[in-house]
Amino acid sequence: MRWGLVLIFLVLIGCAKDQKKKEEKKVEEKPLTEVQIKKIRKEINADKKAQLIEEAFKKKGNFNGTILVAQKGVILFQKATGFAKDTIPNTMDSKFQLASLSKTFTALAIMKMVQEGKLGLENTIQDIYPNFPYSGVTIRSLLSHRSGLPYYQYEFDSRVRRDKIYPTNQQIMQWFIEANPAPKMINKPDHFFAYNNTNYAILAAIIEKVSGQSFAQYMEENIFKPAGMNHTFAGTSTNPELQKNKTQGYQNGRKLDKDFFDDIMGDKGIYSTAPDLLKYYNVLKSGSIVSKENLREMYTPRSFEHPGIRNYGYGFRLWVNKLQQTDYIYHTGWWKGYNTIMFFDLRDDFVIILLSNKYNRSVYNIREMVDILHDEKKRSSLEENILDQ
């Protein structure tokens, strides 16, 4: 009997390994053949678009970083300019702090957990942290910035500076729990949209709590590696290999030192390259890590108190039309000298990626490039600068 149970156990392990191999294989995409690339380039008028995009890029002046623009699986334009650190030039392998663009990865990881039944969108923070002082705040409201929670940077700023502390996500959770009185909420949960880094710092803490892993380890094993993003990592990673080609942030001509909140992950903290973000775009198109159904949930507008052309889904900013339907999906980032944007259109299948480590607001001026990618058959409703304040 005992040997029979052992045999069953070994069979189950074998099945689990086979399933894991299938899942890993599922995220691999076949590269386009030369014949396919040639055909697509002709169809999308790639040479003309590449020339026009390069001309538009030159208008950004003293840009310091990398750009990559692709359509239908074909890279139209990519370039690295300026310096990564001191006199070391940027290359397409340079790794940039994504700042708030990191939120898209946090949301994807949460939706993966939801898909696997490890979390529910209606779970509250108190389901996971019973002593958390605010009730009724769901995973859904965190993802869509509708929690009403206080801003952790303001509430704990004096503490970190006084005590020279670089807190982790779990420490921030503990500080909220221990605070007496608890910091005042900015509003009731789900009352209205308010962009807030606290939401995504808590989501990263929940990822750690549910998985039993660090945020860096979970993301590497469950998002980055399956996506083939071998040059992407969370800032708290202890893997020295991943630190290679890491850039330094600059603003007003000076290097910016490590911030007291730099070890808080989820709202920021992921480093990546432009080519790796192209792989990420392919994952977001294909549904290889999170199903297309769940991705549609992420790309669905969630806030309608003040109808307009900007909205937010789960981890993604959305540019919407008059019917409040999503036209474009994107996220910007801005943190300690870094400016970033990843902007895409699933219908015309293009993505624009700009990563800069020297503060430059022109990073967010992409309307001309978007119109070029539409082949001037239609004009986008974008404003000149799409940085969301």
Kindly report the CATH number assigned to the domain that includes residue 172.
Answer: 3.40.710.10
Evaluate whether residue 20 is within a structural domain.
no
Is 378 within the bounds of a domain?
A: no
249 in a structural domain: yes
pLDDT of res. 306? 86
pLDDT classification of 387: cutoffs 50, 70, 90: confident
Q: Residue 292 falls within a domain, yes or no? A: yes
Q: Which of 22-26, 223-227, 265-269 bottoms out in mean pLDDT, i.e. has the lowest? A: 22-26
Please determine, for residue 3, whether its predicted confidence score (pLDDT) is greater than 80: no
Mean pLDDT of the chain: 91
Q: In this predicted model, what pLDDT tens digit does every residue of 165-187 receive, in sequence order?
A: 999 999 999 999 999 999 999 99
Let me know if residue 42 belongs to a domain: yes
204-244 per-position pLDDT tens digit: 999 999 999 999 999 999 999 999 999 999 999 988 999 89
Average pLDDT over residues 81-90: 96
Domain membership flag for residue 5 = no
Residue 29: the pLDDT is 66
d(CA 323, CA 372): 24
Which range marks the domain in which residue 199 is found?
A: 33-373
For residue 265, tell me if it sits in a domain. yes
| pLDDT mean over 356-363 | 94
Q: How many domains does the chain have?
A: 1
The pLDDT assigned to 389 comes to: 52
Q: How long a stretch of residues is the chain?
A: 389
pLDDT exceeds cutoff 50 at 10: no
Please give the average per-residue pLDDT across 282-292, as a whole number.
95
Lowest mean pLDDT among 65-69, 150-154, 371-375: 371-375
Q: Is the pLDDT of residue 263 over 50?
A: yes
Q: What is the pLDDT of residue 28?
A: 57
Average pLDDT for 18-30: 50
Question: What is this structure's pTM?
Answer: 0.91
Q: Could you report the per-residue pLDDT of 321-334, keeping only the tens digit for each? A: 988 899 999 999 99
Instruction: Note whether residue 163 is domain-resident.
Output: yes
The answer on pLDDT for 6 being more than 50 is no
**Mean predicted confidence (pLDDT) in 121-140:** 98
User: For 96-123, what is each residue's pLDDT tens digit?
Assistant: 999 999 999 999 999 999 999 999 999 9
Residue 326's identity, in one-letter code, is T
